[in-house]
Structure 1
Amino acid sequence: MVAPHTPHTSNDPPDIAARKKTLRLQCAAALRARNVRLDHGIVRRLEALLHPEAGPIACVWPLAHEVDLRPLCHTLAQAGATVVLPQTPPRGAPLVFRQWVPTSTMLAGRFGTHYPDGPIMEPRIVLVPLLGFDRTGNRLGYGGGYYDRTLAALPHAASIGYAPSTQEVAQLPCGPHDKPLSCIVTEKEVIRFG
């Protein structure tokens, strides 16, 4: 996941940026306080949703407080899927995805992240970690803009957000660069858009 502690440099209008900043603080606190046993339900729903033959699937190697997708990575790899994980580049660039297999060496990345030493590949499906989401497919990340740039650079990739249901908010403010997700997966349901 991309740095939860990076300073936010937004292209959003000031009022939207301020509202997002407040929501980020609230949603980050809710994520840290969640019952981590809910994460198992998210992983199970993602396993049922994802098909190994769909092409490279971009998962996320978690930071300490995030939903742990490592069991999903192993399940997908055992089923024959190509799994890729993000490498966080310098600010202003989209994420780079490298192939992961269970025997991959994990390298230390920016902001406490880890990525595999595998070859660079373009994903067909991008799993997007969420601090918050609403019922229209809008998402709230950490504010670095990495997934905004990545999804814009991969317009044909499916974007699947995932988060505990505790991260749902009534309505998220949207800026000019915000793109709705294809669907959002929680431990309770799969919410589809479009």
Structure 2
Amino acid sequence: MALERHLEQAIDVLRPDHSPVIAAFLPIGGEPDLSALLARLHAQGLAIALPDTPECPAPLRFRRWWPGCAMRAGRFGTLVPQTMEIVPELLIVPLLGFDADLHRLGQGGGFYDRTLAALPGARSVGVGIEALLLDSVPVGPHDIGLDAVATETRLRMKGGAA
């Protein structure tokens, strides 16, 4: 799938030289299903984490995930691994919209902005479809832009590299 290929390209460019912890998500609503890609990354020896959504206004917490690990129901219809917490260095972030400057629209809770602010060295790549590209996204003082956006048609990187 082209989206997964562009996402893998972003991971290769953005990840540190060592084997980082990569945070991702399982789909809710119309979000893309990345479970096959996550299983492949896990099989390559990378640590995968899924979000555990706390009460507002806290940042997301992340728990280690692997295919078949025990899961529980989380907030907002998510599934959360019943495993230890780990800290990601690269975050794969869902989006409802994005602009050419790689600002994103999310669900409106600010969870990913708070999380990225709490992890200043972490890199981030948004995942969505090209039809979600907007002329501009309103940016507030606490909004944090992405390092990349992967869609089914291309990979956009901060600074225009791809």
* Aligned 8 A contact 1:97 1:120 in 2: yes
Does the residue aligned with 1:86 lie in a helix, a strand or coil?
A: strand
Q: Is 2:61 aligned against 1:84? A: no
Does the residue aligned with 2:80 lie in a helix, a strand or coil?
A: strand
The residue number in structure 1 matching 2:60 is: 95
The residue number in structure 1 matching 2:106 is: 141
Where does structure 1 lack aligned partners over 5 or more consecutive residues?
1-39
Stretches (4+) displaced over 2 A: 47-54
The residue number in structure 2 matching 1:29 is: none
* Aligned 8 A contact 1:47 1:76 in 2: no
Shift of residue 41 of structure 1?
1.9
Q: Is 2:100 aligned against 1:114? A: no
Q: Is 2:134 aligned against 1:169? A: yes
TM-score, structure 2 normalization: 0.91
Shift of residue 63 of structure 1?
0.8
TM-score, structure 1 normalization: 0.76
2:145 is matched with which residue: 163, 180, 184?
A: 180
Where does structure 2 lack aligned partners over 5 or more consecutive residues?
none
Does the residue aligned with 1:48 lie in a helix, a strand or coil?
A: helix
- Counterparts of 1:16-31 in structure 2, within 5 Å, are none
* Aligned 8 A contact 1:88 1:96 in 2: yes
The residue number in structure 2 matching 1:105 is: 70
* Aligned 8 A contact 2:60 2:112 in 1: yes
The alignment yields a C-alpha RMSD, in angstroms, of 1.3
Shift of residue 64 of structure 1?
3.4
Shift of residue 160 of structure 1?
0.7
- One-letter code of the match for 2:8? E
Task: Name whichever structure is richer in strand by fraction.
Answer: 2
2:119 is matched with which residue: 132, 139, 154?
A: 154
Percent identical pairs in the alignment equals: 43
Structure with larger Rg = 1
The residue number in structure 2 matching 1:130 is: 95
Task: Name whichever structure is richer in helix by fraction.
Answer: 1
* Aligned 8 A contact 1:43 1:71 in 2: no
